Amino acid sequence: MRTWRLAAVAGALSLVAACTGGGDGDSGGRGGTVRILAGSELADMRPILDQAEKDIGVTVKVDYTGTLAGVQQVLDGSAGRGHDAIWFSSNRYLALHPAAQSRLGPSVKIMSSPVLLGLRASAAHRLGWDRTRPTWAAISAAAAAGKFTYGMTNPVSSNSGFSALVGVAAALSGTGSALDAPAVERVAPSLRGFFSAQRITSGSSGWLSDTYAADPGRADGLVNYESVLLTLNAAHRLPEPLTLVYPADGVVTADYPLTRLSSASQRASEALRSLTDYLRRPAVQRRVMTLTHRRPAVPEVRPGAEFGAQPPELPFPARPEAADALIDAYFNRLRRPARTVYVLDVSGSMRGARLAALKAALAALTGADTSLSGRFQRFHDREQVTLLPFSSTPRRPATYVLPATGSAATLARIRADTEKLTAGGSTAIYESLEQAYSAIGTSSATDRITSIVLMSDGESNQGDSFADFRSWYGRQPLALRRIPVFAILFGESATSEMNALAALTRGRTFDARLQSLSAVFGEIRGYQ
């Protein structure tokens, strides 16, 4: 207990300090500051948060991260160092882990968006799905029969992919209760049919949407949040708008719970409460709806006409082993397997710590990393991996195909061969890259989801220049040109050239100068 007089004295003193310019410390303003660890897709809320600062004086600092990385940070407690709250599309996967219970405080839902199938209008019309809502079983059957193709995010890197995986599995199981591990086994054959139509994968919903918009010929549509599909349509970025297909038997909906971390201070908690109250004001909810195309979370605001009737919600597994069995099945048995060529710089400048970091990053993908992310990011069964080391010229590529079961021996072989890498010579990036494309060839370019990873710590100083590569690339058949290059910025990489290379091949750059090479290799797994 304290009396108001004490508070008044403290207040007067701080006013004195402020007036005389002595208050350099944590002033924060009356509204305070909230530091949030958020999913990358919430970057679109920045204008709303800036307005919140003007309206209620609460400063909101946001760090963005991927879904799996966020889960990991909450579970190991590092999210609480430097953050007061988390804000992801859903807490469901996180909450499956018993360790999460003590880390999380109360949460408030801010908006919602179901995960749907968006198909180009002509494809949706051809399938009749613009007139009646199909069930997931009908959608899966059409996918298995090759009647449409789609892009979807990676279920461990991104919530939209995981929601789709859970939704289609729950609907196909037909039991009406939450999935358990045996149900995952039962639905595996139908799921394989559904995933046979997947053409694009991605580590984030945003990259998936951008990639699709840049080359809509690659697939007939996307599995993504309703909000992402509506945003694509509203921006008129596609030659043909997407028809939103609401599966009749239900969806999994992202509900964006803004969640206090139990480690948050009293002051931060109060600021957070002001912020959540603000975000749920009807006027703000209307602005969020218009700006982001997500559905409002308060009953005072009616969803606009662009939203279809809310489909039933499918149950989300309550047991961690059911979710993990589903994810394992997806990677090792259900999805179209990945083919990746790792183009790896082992020139003289890589000697020492850099080469060691590269070896450690590759070893983590062969099962050496036993953490949550390591488990889901290792090379999966049926996957094809090619290591193409290079220096003055490309060295001899080594290709490994992991068997459908019992992949330990192959993983050990990859690890052993990686250990033997030695550094020396100069850097022939583009000649090696051309070699990578040629190694993939055109004959089998579509039976897997194929991509190239380029890791170099410097500029190309041998053989073809980037301009040479650009013209070489322009002469390749479309199937090869659709293989993206994921370029890693490391050491003295030529940043602008790597960005241009990623733009040319519709890949992405990843920065290993601010985080470890292992972390970046892991992140790229979401795109393979």
Partner 1 sequence: MRRILSIGLAVVLLAGVVIALLRGHGSSHRTTTVHGVIGSEKEAFFADPAVRKAFARDGLTVEVDSAGSRQIATSVDLSRYDFAFPSSAPAADRIQQQRHVTARYAPFASPMAIATFQPIADLLAGAGVAKRQGPVWTFDVSRYLGLVARHTRWDRLPHNTAYPVRRDVLVSTTDPRSSNSAAMYLAIASYVANGDAVVRGAAEERRVLPTLTGLFVDQGYTDNTTEGPFADYLSLGMGKAPLVCVYEAQFVDAAVRNLLKAGMVLMYPTPTVQSRHTLIPFDDGGDRVGRLLTSDPELQRLAALHGFRTADPARFAAVTADHHVPVRTDLIDVVDTPSYDTLEHLLAGVAKAYG
Chain contacts with partner 1 (rule: CB under 8 A): 1-5, 8-9, 11-12, 15-16, 19-21, 92, 95-96, 101-102, 104-109, 112, 171, 174-179, 249-250, 253, 255, 257, 269, 295-300, 309-321
Q: In what order do the strands lie in the sheet with 384-390?
A: 398-401, 384-390, 338-345, 449-456, 485-489, 508-511
CB closer to partner 1, 308 vs 425: 308
Question: Min. distance of Cβ 181 from partner 1 in angstroms?
Answer: 10
Question: Min. distance of Cβ 249 from partner 1 in angstroms?
Answer: 5
For residue 3, what are the contacts with CB-CB under 8 A and spacing of at least 6? none
CB closer to partner 1, 220 vs 255: 255
CB closer to partner 1, 135 vs 392: 135
CB closer to partner 1, 272 vs 487: 272
Question: Min. distance of Cβ 495 from partner 1 in angstroms?
Answer: 42
| DSSP letter, residue 140 | H
CB closer to partner 1, 107 vs 366: 107
Distance CA 386, CA 92 (A): 36
Collapsing DSSP to helix, strand or coil, 391 comes out as: coil
Question: Min. distance of Cβ 457 from partner 1 in angstroms?
Answer: 44
Length of the chain, in residues: 528
Angle at 124 between CA 123 and CA 128, to 5 degrees: 120
Sign of torsion over alpha carbons 449, 455, 459, 463: negative
Q: H or E stretch including 50?
A: helix 46-56
Q: Please list the alpha-helical segments (H only) found in 457-513.
A: 466-474, 478-481, 495-505
Question: Min. distance of Cβ 305 from partner 1 in angstroms?
Answer: 16
Question: Min. distance of Cβ 216 from partner 1 in angstroms?
Answer: 30
CB closer to partner 1, 273 vs 481: 273
CB closer to partner 1, 21 vs 477: 21
Contact 516, 374 (CB under 8 A): no
Query: If phi over 0 gives left and psi between -120 and 50 gives alpha, with beta otherwise, what is residue 408?
Result: alpha
Burial of 194 (0-12, 13-18, 19+ CB in 10 A): buried
CB closer to partner 1, 77 vs 174: 174
Question: Min. distance of Cβ 299 from partner 1 in angstroms?
Answer: 4
SS (H, E, C) 204-268: CHHHHHHHHHHCHHHCCEEEEEHHHHHHHHHCCCCCCCEEEECCCCCECEECCEEEEECCCCHHH
Q: H or E stretch including 323?
A: helix 320-329
How many CA atoms does the CB half-sphere of 509 hold within 13 Å?
18
| CB burial string 258-272: b at 16+ within 10 A, e below | bbbbeebeeebbebb
CB closer to partner 1, 301 vs 517: 301
Question: Min. distance of Cβ 97 from partner 1 in angstroms?
Answer: 11
Question: Min. distance of Cβ 306 from partner 1 in angstroms?
Answer: 16
CB closer to partner 1, 170 vs 363: 170
Query: Of the candidates 98, 102, 57, which has an alpha carbon nearest to the alpha carbon of residue 79?
Result: 102
Question: Min. distance of Cβ 311 from partner 1 in angstroms?
Answer: 6
